[in-house]
Amino acid sequence: MSIEICIINPYSSAISNEKIKNCALKVIDKDSSLFINKKNSQENYFDLHSESINISKLIKVVEKNNSSDAFIIVSFEDIGVDTIRKITSKQIIGLGEASFYTANIIANKFSVITNLSHSHEALKNNLIKYDMDHKCASIKSIEVPVLDMDTMSKSNLIKLDNEIQRTITEDGPEAIIITSPGIYNLSKNLSKKFNIPIIEGVTAATALMENFAKLDLQIKKIVSKPNRNFGIPI
């Protein structure tokens, strides 16, 4: 069964798009296809005043490409996913939700290493929403902007190595999620180096969306879960 997946990358750059595409191709079936929506010169996925992703622009991309079987939003905060689910019956997921569900299956507890610490609050809230906060041992960061990870410098690799080792020593997770998209080969090398599963969001999302699309399960409605206190020690 041939499935078409549309990947929407708000942090679009030529390097990151290529890395994300190569990651997704690692896990997608040969009969299926994918493409990364490329913004034109007039598009800007960011609201310059709030420094946040412009959800209305993401909605327009989904509406324009609604012939696709599934959509992946390259956002670890899963920005816009709930809103877009209200306007399409197609499968859609963000990198955070995909990674959390993957970690939930393979580990009793997992940790998250983000690029920047300002994303922690959004990730905490999402973990509560997905009812997985009790399985998250910790959320840490390496304080390196997402686009700076496009070209993996030696200093950034050292920061990531050190944070993984610190996370394993201090928190004892059975799996680690790294929020930098498009680092499939690096995640495999780190997994071998530290003897722990390292989850990369693009491959997790691609595998989930392809298989959910094959099940032909359409989204009908969203049920919001009540908010509750976040109990993860950070």
Tens digit of pLDDT at every position of the chain (234 positions): 789 999 998 876 777 888 899 999 999 998 899 998 865 444 445 443 444 567 888 888 898 998 999 999 999 999 889 989 888 888 999 999 999 999 999 999 999 999 889 889 999 999 999 999 999 999 999 988 776 766 678 888 899 999 999 999 999 999 999 998 878 788 999 999 999 999 999 999 999 999 988 888 776 654 455 444 444 444
Spell out the domains of the chain, with CATH numbers in brackets. Answer: 4-95+203-215 (3.40.50.12500), 96-200 (3.40.50.12500)
Nearest CA to 16 among 142, 151, 116, 207?
Answer: 151
Residue carrying structure tokens 């879960």: 225
